[in-house]
Structure 1
């Protein structure tokens, strides 16, 4: 990352980090994509995501798989971590959490393509794994989103760890 890209980053390298457990998309920070001429995926695996059931207040735990193809902006990873922590007291159904994460990142980054797959641990013997995606309208990425949506779960993984 070039030094000029870091001038707007307030969290990276900050030793006085505080954790906000109330949903806060404003904590997200960006930096400039240094390779916008290429398409490539940036993938994040977030294995310690937590939110609250909006009806019972019980905690829900998930691994969030986030992948995107950047355009001009990229998300700074420490701010993404703090953003994910901000869901700790967020009362949202699993599907809402996945879509909220995706929509917040679309507003922030305006990516070419993005997908979020949330794999929640079971409660009551049922796990819920919402998948959502987006491709920039009127581009090949819109077509890509449609194809990936149709095929995203054609080969479900063997679930033996939950």
Structure 2
């Protein structure tokens, strides 16, 4: 009888662990979509969802400006290069899907550079990076007129990688 009780307790422990994981996952999803604490009660469910991760270039833990879309999507570039990294299409997926589902929405694309070196060259590289990111969205089916380019900016980031970036922000 004791052996059977131990097996039952182990099975019950596993069941409760699974239930706990499911509850935590549901709470995280609810928080991500903004439906907790009265948020989102008057809004339809988000049309897109992508978790924000530092590895994908999306601002980790960023609040959402538009439901289901990270507040800022950051695409990081190599030094002196304007070729879009392979991860850009994935990183821009939530923006692309939101823009396709919401014809009135637009996206602003901003290129950044650091203060070192020739300011004119840096500004041109930043502009080329922003154009390359816009081209990814346009190639995915977003109308070019809905993706605006902002003037290149000097980065206030403390590291080189943060300075070599393009930020994409969605506006309703």
- Would the TM-score normalized by the shorter structure come out above 0.5? no
Please tell me whether Structure 1 or Structure 2 has the larger radius of gyration of its CA atoms: 2
Using structure 2 for the length normalisation, give the TM-score: 0.30
Tell me which protein shows more helix as a share of its residues: 2
Tell me which protein shows more strand as a share of its residues: 1
Using structure 1 for the length normalisation, give the TM-score: 0.31
